[in-house]
């Protein structure tokens, strides 16, 4: 990766020291990026006289570094983040449902991530099999303490900032489940919907869950339909970005089915690469090109092996791919396409 000649501190001696340090510390692949990080830190010191600015950047970088370290050994294990009210009591139906949901997922090999606090978060950690859960706790003025159902204390990460915590919630997980909750739950729900709608997060199953008989998410969906959709604030295809589950088994099946054939996504220059768990039939490929040509800039959807950019890091070399020139806009339609791919027989 060529280093930008323009991104320097302006001081030749300091730039030389940065280059020397980056070369000593980083891998050959990461040297350029570490050089940019170090340059940014030095430029911040040169330009900012506000200690608060420096403190914010320092704390955020520390939180991200530590989070990456904790999650790195588990990157190949699918994880589900559970959101819901911190005020749900252990006797409530939603608490018991979240506990059962976490248990079912970890029995199938998934790992659970929660916000680490009480209520639905506690239920998620309680239901998870030992060693199969993480807790991303937030330090609040009233001191939200980690719940007692986290078996391995090294999987508890304490955050000062919501924005770094929320970044890790999405970056390190593969599915999102939301139970009834307050402002925080809706904040997380709308944020993840925004991220997948705009392509800032990888496609993922987003499932809304509530006990049988509860109108909670149906009321929410009524608002989405009657205020957002009818007023043109979202497209009808955006309704396919989420799923309101009937029960625990329905929610688990929805998550399982999302990754039945579809594996992951990768962008290489102008191309969008969909990695698959198996080859799809010629009939399904033909259907994709007929039904989804509207979301292509040009060309057609083709089967492929790994691209050379993927082979540099040996990214799933044994998996087949679909390669296309996606318009990077219609992510609701992309979800529909993933659904068709997952139904391939």
pLDDT for the residue 1: 43
Separation of alpha carbons 265 and 252, rounded Å: 21
Query: Is residue 237 one of the residues assigned to a domain?
Result: yes
Q: Are 221 and 281 in a shared domain?
A: no
Backbone torsions φ then ψ of 5, nearest 5 degrees: -75, -20
- For CA atoms 79, 128, 168, 153, the dihedral sign is negative
Separation of alpha carbons 322 and 344, rounded Å: 13
Q: Which of 258, 287, 312 is the last residue of a domain?
A: 258
| Distance (Å) of CA 211 to CA 19, 180, 221 | 57, 9, 16
pLDDT at 185 over 70: yes
Query: Is residue 66 one of the residues assigned to a domain?
Result: yes
pLDDT for the residue 135: 95
| Digit-coded pLDDT (tens) for 303-343 | 999 999 999 889 999 999 999 999 999 999 999 999 999 99
Residues 185, 178 contacting (CB under 8 angstroms)? yes
DSSP state of 6: S
pLDDT at 237 over 70: yes
Half-sphere exposure at residue 162, Cβ-oriented, CA atoms within 13 angstroms: 6
pLDDT for the residue 141: 74
| Digit-coded pLDDT (tens) for 7-37 | 999 999 999 999 999 999 988 888 999 999 9
Q: Are 149 and 236 in a shared domain?
A: yes
| Digit-coded pLDDT (tens) for 246-272 | 999 999 999 999 999 999 999 999 999
Separation of alpha carbons 272 and 155, rounded Å: 34
Q: Which of 202, 234, 258 is the last residue of a domain?
A: 258
Structural domain that includes position 162: 74-258
Backbone torsions φ then ψ of 297, nearest 5 degrees: -70, -45
pLDDT at 283 over 80: yes
Burial readout 299-311 (b: 16 or more C-beta within 10 A, e: otherwise)? eebeeeebbeebe
pLDDT for the residue 151: 77
Name which of 119, 113, 125, 101 is nearest 166 in CA terms.
113
The two structure tokens encoding residue 1: 């990766």
pLDDT for the residue 4: 52
Query: Is residue 56 one of the residues assigned to a domain?
Result: yes
Query: Is residue 6 one of the residues assigned to a domain?
Result: no
Strand, coil or helix: 137: strand
| Runs of H (alpha helix) within 48-147 | 51-71, 93-107, 120-127
Would you say how long the chain is, in residues? 345
End-to-end Cα spacing for the chain? 41
Burial readout 169-178 (b: 16 or more C-beta within 10 A, e: otherwise)? bbebbbbbbb
| pTM metric for this prediction | 0.94
Q: Are 23 and 112 in a shared domain?
A: no
pLDDT for the residue 5: 58
- Order across the sheet with 262-268: list the strands: 262-268, 271-276, 321-326, 296-304
Instruction: Write the CB contacts of 186 (distance below 8 Å, at least 6 apart in sequence).
Output: none
Angle, CA of 49, 39 and 41, to the nearest 5°: 40
> Tokens 């924005």 belong to which residue?
163
Q: Are 66 and 79 in a shared domain?
A: no
Q: Are 17 and 85 in a shared domain?
A: no
Separation of alpha carbons 84 and 210, rounded Å: 10
Residues 170, 79 contacting (CB under 8 angstroms)? no
- How many helices (DSSP H) and strands (DSSP E) are in the chain? 12, 11
Q: Are 234 and 287 in a shared domain?
A: no
Query: Is residue 3 one of the residues assigned to a domain?
Result: no
Residues 97, 156 contacting (CB under 8 angstroms)? no
Backbone torsions φ then ψ of 220, nearest 5 degrees: -60, -45
Q: Are 154 and 271 in a shared domain?
A: no
Strand, coil or helix: 113: strand
pLDDT at 140 over 90: no
Q: Are 213 and 106 in a shared domain?
A: yes
Name which of 45, 46, 24, 44 is nearest 35 in CA terms.
24
Q: Which of 72, 96, 120 is the last residue of a domain?
A: 72
Query: Is residue 1 one of the residues assigned to a domain?
Result: no
CATH code of the domain in which 138 resides: 3.40.50.450
Separation of alpha carbons 190 and 188, rounded Å: 6
């Amino acid at each position: 990766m060529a280093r930008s000649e323009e991104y320097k501190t302006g001081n030749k001696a300091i730039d030389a020291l940065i280059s020397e340090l980056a070369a000593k510390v980083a891998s050959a692949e990461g040297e350029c990026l570490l050089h940019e990080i170090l340059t940014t830190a030095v430029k911040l010191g040169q330009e900012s006289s506000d200690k608060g600015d420096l403190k914010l950047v320092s704390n955020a970088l520390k939180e991200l570094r530590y989070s990456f370290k904790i999650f790195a050994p588990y990157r190949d294990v699918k994880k589900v983040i559970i959101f819901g009210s911190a005020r749900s009591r252990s006797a409530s139906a939603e608490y018991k449902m979240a506990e059962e949901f976490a248990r079912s997922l970890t029995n199938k090999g998934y790992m659970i991530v929660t916000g680490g606090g009480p209520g639905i978060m506690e239920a998620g950690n309680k239901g998870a099999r030992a060693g199969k859960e993480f807790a991303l706790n937030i330090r609040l003025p009233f001191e939200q303490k980690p719940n007692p159902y986290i078996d391995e204390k090294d999987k508890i990460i304490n955050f000062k900032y919501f924005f770094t915590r929320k970044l890790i919630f999405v970056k390190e997980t593969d599915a999102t489940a939301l139970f009834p909750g307050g402002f925080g739950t809706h904040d997380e729900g709308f944020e993840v919907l925004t991220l997948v709608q705009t392509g800032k997060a990888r496609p993922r199953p987003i499932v809304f869950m509530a006990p049988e008989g509860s109108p909670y998410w149906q009321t929410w969906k009524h608002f989405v339909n009657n205020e957002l959709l009818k007023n043109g604030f979202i497209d009808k295809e955006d309704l396919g970005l989420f799923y309101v589950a009937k029960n625990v088994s329905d929610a688990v099946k929805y998550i399982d089915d999302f990754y039945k054939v579809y594996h992951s996504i990768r962008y290489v220059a102008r191309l969008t690469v969909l990695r698959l768990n198996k080859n799809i039939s010629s009939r399904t490929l033909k259907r994709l090109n007929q039904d989804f040509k509207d979301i292509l800039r040009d060309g057609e959807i083709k089967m492929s092996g790994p691209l050379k950019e993927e082979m540099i890091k040996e990214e799933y070399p044994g998996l087949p791919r679909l390669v296309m020139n996606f318009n990077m806009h219609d992510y609701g339609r992309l979800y529909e396409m993933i659904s068709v791919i997952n139904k391939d027989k």
